[in-house]
A and B are shown apart, each in its own frame.
Chain A
Amino acid sequence: MASKKKRRDEDLAQEEVLTAVVLADSFNVRFAPITHRKPRTLLPLVNVPLLDYTLEFLCSAGIERVYLFCCAHAEQIKEHVRKSKWSTRCSPCEVIPIVSEDCLSLGDALREIDAKALIDTDFVLVNGDLVSNLPLKDLIEEHKERVQKVKSSVMTMVFMHAAPHHRTRCREEEVLVAVDRPTQRVLHYRKVGTDHKFELPAELFQEFSDIQLRYDLLDCHISICSPLVPQLFTDNFDYQTSDDFVRGILVSEEILGNTIHMKVVEEGYAARVSNLQMYDAVSKDIISRWSFPLVPDNDISNNNNMNKYSYGRHNIYLNKDITLARGCVLQEDVVIGPGTSIGSGSTLAHSVVGRNCKIGENVKLENAYIWDGVTIENGVSVTTAVIADNAVLKKDVTVEPGCVFSYDVIVGPSVKIPSGTILSSAPVEDDGFSDEEEETVKGLNPVLVGSQGVAYLYQPDAEDSDNEDIIQDMWGLTIQSEEDDASSVGSMGSDELSPPSSPPADDMKLFYGEVLDTLERVFTENIGTDNTILEINSLKHAYNITINELNGLVTKAIIAYPQRNNKDMDPPKLMSALKPVLAKLLPVLRNYMKNTECQLECLAALEDYSIHHPSTGAILMKVMQVLYNADVLSEEAILHWYENVPTDHADQHQKIRKKVETFIKWLEEAEEESD
């Protein structure tokens, strides 16, 4: 009996309609101004609208019902779906657009879904800009099995394995995930951002004995959610993004008892076109067939022959209906859409050209994404750029890396568009609720866009990119000058834990270098005494330097400063160089040399330095005199130093003392006189 009932339950479970929710809106403006006219999901990626990749992926993975959540440009999306093959009667997959214009985030979308009670089974949540070929059915199966065992699991996040230097990683999307290795339960999830250090709660490690910390993951935003997820969004109306949700679940795990698990796929492909960098990377991945079967020669969008590509070696995809002039060179990774003609002497590499483009003679395209109906006249050179529909590049225009030209832009002739320029064909009109300052569009600038140019400089809304701490990479420019902090000390921040007895040699060296840098800035930026002291003090803490060491090192640094660029100055020159330095830094020294002991440190440092630098040795007496006159060094300290000769290398120390003999004599006499 029981078994029968169970079997029936299983049957029922089997009959569940596999459902996916596709968010056809990105809720950000990474592709502005292009997305002002067309939603992101309909932008062409290798001549196929992005949404088609997502739907094709879901459909081929066996999803039977797709709720397509549209916000901005909903009509266009609906129209696109209506015309597509998913609306035909034989489509295996039902695509249901849901329009909600006032939706501003993923959270809103899921709350809407909950309100409409659309979903009562496990579902797949993806964005409409996803390109993937993962075996989704297996992943869903795995999720369901886990939910059977672990009732608390509400979501399985799918990650792709991608080492830190992977092409399809962008800094905006980098994540750090801590996961309990045996169960694959997500314990900690954070966006990496610009942080250089990550702090994880220690109790995590006390609770779980086998944690894996992963920085080699690409979050492809495929989440397999239980029906509870939309409800949770409704219950917590402050959840906006999926990050909020994940963080919320992890934080309130103890209270609500919900957990999130993850799955790392080693094989297969998944990536989101979340910004221009990813657009570039994913295009390349598609051209080099990582996303198979989602490749240009497989005609992803629809089944008409118009859009058939042939695939040749060096990853060159050509449509049937194109005109290639004799003498044009297609180097590698090139896709050329129907109706396009290319003139002789043109060279194309790593580029995509859309439908009905006219490319003239001696054009050079490298890493360029040319959409439909673009006209490129003779002698143009484009490197790493997106050029949207119907743009015109007149004769001899040069486009430097990282540019984006929106629809109908006309530039040229004979101009050079500087790197990172974003042009739109019309001044962006105010959309009602943004302030005028937010999006500034300068008027026509013939110097920039050429005498016949029709294009306006578009500046991304400053507020939007700053308020969330997202780093927007400049696409196409390798300005990732992220300094490699590995060269500095130590591993995972445990340096401060090192026993104080451990050899400090490196620290002192580093500290010394830093002090020198500080001094450099004192002179170049004219930093005041107080700030200098403050800076040195903070360095002291950073490098765990004792006050005694500090006195010596600061003294040395000051003495050494004038010689930093010129190692062999003759003594008089050195003295004249040192004088202004000393004058400026005397207050700093005075701050540190508070008692005799400190002064002895200072003297010892001076001595040590002089031993190794004869030219300094020669002016040592003068230096001491200056310091004495400025009350940095007291009489008794100097005399004490003079009388107590260190035992090792006594001869060298004696030599130094000989050099200052006259000064000492003078001091002693002065003392007697005052007595």
Chain B
Amino acid sequence: MAEFQAVIMAGGKGSRMTDLTAKIPKALLPIGNLPMVWYPINLLERSGFEDAIIIVPAYFKAEIERALQMCEVKLNLDFVEVPDDEDWGTCDSLRHIKDKITTDLLIISCDLIVDFPLNALADVHRTYDATVTTLMSVAPETFTELTAPGTKSKRKMEHDFVGLDEKGNRLLFLGSDADFEETVTFKKSLLKRHPCINIRTKLLDGHLYLMKKWVLDYLAEQSSLTTLKGELVPYLVRKQFSQAAKVPEKDLPNANASVISVATVKDIYGFAVEDNMAGITREYSSWNDHSGDMEGCYHGNKIRCYTHILNEGFLLRANTVATYCEANRQIAKLLASLRPSKDVKPVHPTATVAQKAQVGNDSLVGEGVTIGEKTSIKKSVIGKHCSIGEKVKITNSVIMDHVTIKEGSNIQGCILCDNAHINEKCDLKDSMVGSGQNIVAMGKFTNEVIVDVDRMMTI
């Protein structure tokens, strides 16, 4: 039996990029001409997984299945549908598949791109016999000022406050800066046990979790929790240092009987039971996770949250328009390492590129694309069957499938969705063009979102 069962969370709607996900599920948004969900699947394949459960919206199940067949996925995928109409959080999805889970879990989001295999993460998880292990990476400086097409303001980084122990593995503290108004409070009891806390704010969270099975059992009981990142993980992090609710024999009367009705409900520590063998092993081992006092390993904490921080390598979540663009910009460099078996060329063999056209190495051109003379393409991804006229300049842009760009246009930092039609001599800068939109000749747009008017209303 496998050590971990992988669950791919592809049921999201892409609520932070609604303009892009109007007609297409988030999981199928193209990144480097591959559906987004291919990247986590690829990661699992590279890490040696053979099976995975994938959670998809019921409405798009067939479409996702079809798209994945096209990109030669070797992983055995077990598709699980979640209803489209209801607002399901990640925890709801997990509760939904509870019966399929027999071992510890690996939960991965469909928008994660990582170019490292997961061994190091799993090693951390195993070393400390962790309850939850998360994956984070140091955000490159440039990430703080990514701009999203269609908005003027620079993207504000959502800062997480991540408190780590001295070695940088144990998660002691998790919060976002929205949680704190003026001061952040630390308790002395925590500092006593972990006298050296590193607080990092510019970390990217991969939303990838290795999790003990009992957490799922607990989750099944607690229907109030809906999201992993927002509720469950912070809750677990907090609960690390509490003791199992004391059964105070001496000062509560009748402690053994149910004094309070809620006492009958098992608290989280009731779930966090570790098997006897692990406890004995630890007792007999001279290994300790800390020094400086005489207490036992982990200070007797039953719940332990850890994190693995990637110091090098690439980690990105394409969960906003800005990061989605960034992912497309970076992907040309990454694809080769992500699938070494395939010889990836920047320009697909079936594409026709005119003699004097220039396609930079940092760009990708999909199949059946025609590119006219004197056109230059830099740092961009061109989808399938696009037709690009002469003297077109495309930089820093994402062009999805079947887009037509007529001659002399200048596209800079844009996203052009499927079937968009750009007429002659348009000048688009940092804008987003919705699918099927037609931009009349000589059109000039900066920082704008051009989508159906009635769709605009619904936002």
Contacts and interface: CB of A to CB of B under 8 A. Distances in A.
B246 interface: yes
Contacts of A491: 172-173, 187, 190, 237-238, 240-241
A140 B408 CA distance: 65
B245 A509 contact: yes
A501 interface: yes
Interface in A211-260: 211-216
A493 B198 contact: no
A560 B191 CA distance: 37
B161 to A, nearest CB: 6
Interface stretch (A194-202, A292-300, A359-367): A194-202
B183 A567 contact: no
A500 B202 CA distance: 27
A148 interface: no
B291 A163 contact: yes
Interface string A470-509: 0000000000000011111111111101110111111011
Given A209-B202, A487-B246, A488-B242, A215 B196 contact: yes
Given A212-B197, A563-B254, A512 B260 contact: yes
A198 B186 contact: yes
A209 B143 CA distance: 14
Given A497-B175, A564-B251, A503 B267 contact: yes
Contacts of B251: 513, 516-517, 564
A488 B254 CA distance: 21
A504 B257 CA distance: 19
Residue of B177, B192, B226, B293 with most chain A CB atoms under a 10 A cut-off: B192
Given A205-B184, A493-B187, A505-B267, A556 B260 contact: yes
Nearest to B194: A215
B310 interface: no
Given A213-B186, A484-B189, A499-B231, A505 B201 contact: no
Interface in A625-641: none
A501 B245 contact: no
Contact of B188 (A195, A209, A517): A195
A223 B301 CA distance: 39
A198 B173 CA distance: 14
B253 interface: yes
B118 interface: no
Given A164-B292, A506-B245, A517-B251, A492 B163 contact: yes
A602 to B, nearest CB: 14
B196 A513 contact: no
Nearest to A504: B262
Contacts of B197: 212-214
B222 A503 contact: yes
Residue of B231, B239, B240, B260 with most chain A CB atoms under a 10 A cut-off: B260
B238 A495 contact: yes
B444 interface: no
Interface residues of A, number: 68
A560 B263 contact: no
A206 interface: yes
B185 A613 contact: no
A494 B238 contact: yes
B259 interface: yes
Contacts of A212: 196-199
Contact of B183 (A201, A484, A497, A612): A201
Contacts of B261: 552, 608
B454 interface: no
B239 to A, nearest CB: 7
Interface string A435-449: 000000000000000
A176 interface: yes
Interface string B243-254: 101101001111
Contacts of A553: 260
Interface string B373-404: 00000000000000000000000000000000
Nearest to B176: A497
A181 interface: yes
A607 to B, nearest CB: 10
A163 B189 contact: no
Contacts of B172: 491-492
B265 interface: yes
A315 to B, nearest CB: 22
Interface in A178-200: 181, 192, 195-200
User: For the complex, would chain A's binding face be called helix, strand, loop or mixed by DSSP majority?
Assistant: mixed
26 contacts: A165-B294, A176-B191, A197-B185, A198-B186, A198-B188, A200-B183, A202-B177, A202-B180, A203-B182, A206-B159, A211-B199, A213-B197, A489-B242, A490-B187, A491-B241, A492-B163, A493-B185, A497-B175, A502-B224, A502-B225, A503-B265, A505-B265, A506-B267, A510-B245, A516-B253, A517-B251
Contacts of B293: 163-165
Nearest to A497: B179
Given A492-B173, A503-B222, A505-B262, A202 B237 contact: no
Contacts, number: 213
Interface of A: 163-166, 176, 181, 192, 195-203, 205-206, 208-216, 484-495, 497-499, 501-506, 508-510, 512-513, 516-517, 552-553, 556, 560-561, 563-565, 567, 608-609, 612-613
A487 B239 CA distance: 11
A613 B199 contact: no
Residue of A209, A493, A512, A516 with most chain B CB atoms under a 10 A cut-off: A209
Given A166-B292, A198-B187, 9 more contacts: A200-B186, A205-B201, A212-B197, A213-B186, A213-B196, A215-B188, A491-B237, A494-B185, A498-B238
B83 interface: no
B181 A202 contact: yes
Nearest to A612: B257
A508 to B, nearest CB: 5
Contacts of A552: 261
Contacts of A505: 245, 262-263, 265, 267
A484 B191 CA distance: 12
B95 interface: no
A486 B189 contact: yes
A205 B195 contact: no
A502 B237 CA distance: 13
Nearest to B237: A491
B59 interface: no
Given A181-B198, A486-B241, A563-B253, A197 B188 contact: yes
Contacts of A503: 222, 224, 265, 267-268
Across the A-B interface, give the 3 residue pairs with the lowest CB-CB distance, nearest first. A163-B292, A493-B185, A216-B195
A237 B308 CA distance: 49
B258 A612 contact: yes
Contacts of B235: 498, 502
B292 A490 contact: no
A574 B197 CA distance: 53
Contacts of B154: none
Given A163-B291, A487-B246, A213 B199 contact: yes
Contacts of B196: 212-216
Contacts of B199: 205, 210-213
Contacts of B254: 560, 563, 567, 612-613
Given A206-B201, A508-B260, A612-B254, A493 B186 contact: yes
A202 B239 CA distance: 23
Nearest to B294: A165
A210 B198 contact: yes
Contacts of A563: 253-254
Residue of B173, B242, B268 with most chain A CB atoms under a 10 A cut-off: B242
A492 B184 contact: yes
Residue of A195, A486, A492, A505 with most chain B CB atoms under a 10 A cut-off: A492
Residue of B190, B234, B237 with most chain A CB atoms under a 10 A cut-off: B190
Residue of A181, A501, A510 with most chain B CB atoms under a 10 A cut-off: A501
Contacts of A608: 258, 261
A485 B185 CA distance: 15
B187 A205 contact: no
